[in-house]
């Protein structure tokens, strides 16, 4: 079973539609037993870090996510919530990946939020990425980013290089939206489902 964590973050339906296009059945759930029993887990979302973390703490889903041992794919704010801390309203996050989330402060003409298509490079190809995805375009909507570091699996350049993807142990993540990234995103989702 593939579980999609339902924690009042936006954009869950577009993830379910993308999975449906791939012929994959998924269960949208906030039930800890279902999430722990799933073969794989998706942790998507769009929203604000502080309120998302508050909801996770209030429902106990923060501890559920930290306890997972099966492959987990976090998307957009999901990636940010896996980290240690976010500058968005000074939010302590899940601390699964020991990196911090920062606000874009572009020194040139780049707009914040970063919205639209951009390429991915420097891919680590033993997870959700494969070499054929180098320099492919993916879709972004975000104002906060994770710096490039030891857990970075893909890089995008917008004002500065940032982590388009992260991985630590069984936790995989993308800052971009694979569910909105056309056939490239479908390949990334398929790679995750094949892990």
114 in catalytic set: no
Cα separation of 147 and 149, whole Å?
6
Query: SS3 of 27, please?
Result: strand
Spot the catalytic one: 88, 114, 136, 177: 177
Spot the catalytic one: 88, 93, 136, 179: 179
Spot the catalytic one: 76, 83, 114, 136: 76
179 in catalytic set: yes
55 in catalytic set: no
Residue that is written with structure tokens 């570091």 in the block: 149
Exposure string over 110-137, b if 16+ CB within 10 A, otherwise e: eeeebeeeebbeebeeebbbeeebeebb
Residues recognised as catalytic: 76, 177, 179
């Amino acid at each position: 079973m593939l579980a999609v964590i339902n924690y009042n973050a936006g954009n869950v339906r577009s993830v379910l539609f993308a999975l449906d296009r791939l012929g994959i059945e998924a269960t949208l759930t906030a039930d800890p037993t279902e999430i722990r029993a799933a073969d794989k887990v998706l942790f998507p979302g769009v929203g604000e870090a502080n309120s998302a973390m508050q909801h996770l703490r209030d429902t106990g889903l923060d501890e559920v996510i930290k306890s997972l041992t099966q492959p987990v794919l976090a998307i957009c704010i999901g990636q940010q919530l896996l980290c240690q801390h976010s500058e968005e309203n000074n939010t302590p996050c899940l601390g699964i990946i020991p990196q911090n989330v920062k606000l874009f402060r572009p020194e040139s003409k780049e707009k914040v939020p970063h919205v639209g298509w951009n390429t991915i490079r420097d891919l680590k190809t033993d997870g959700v990425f494969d070499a054929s995805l180098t320099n492919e375009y993916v879709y972004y909507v975000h104002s906060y980013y994770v710096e490039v570091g030891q857990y970075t699996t893909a890089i995008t350049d917008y004002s500065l290089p940032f982590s388009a993807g992260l991985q630590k142990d069984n936790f995989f993540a993308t800052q971009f939206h694979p569910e909105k990234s056309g056939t490239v995103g479908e390949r990334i989702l398929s790679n995750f489902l094949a892990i």
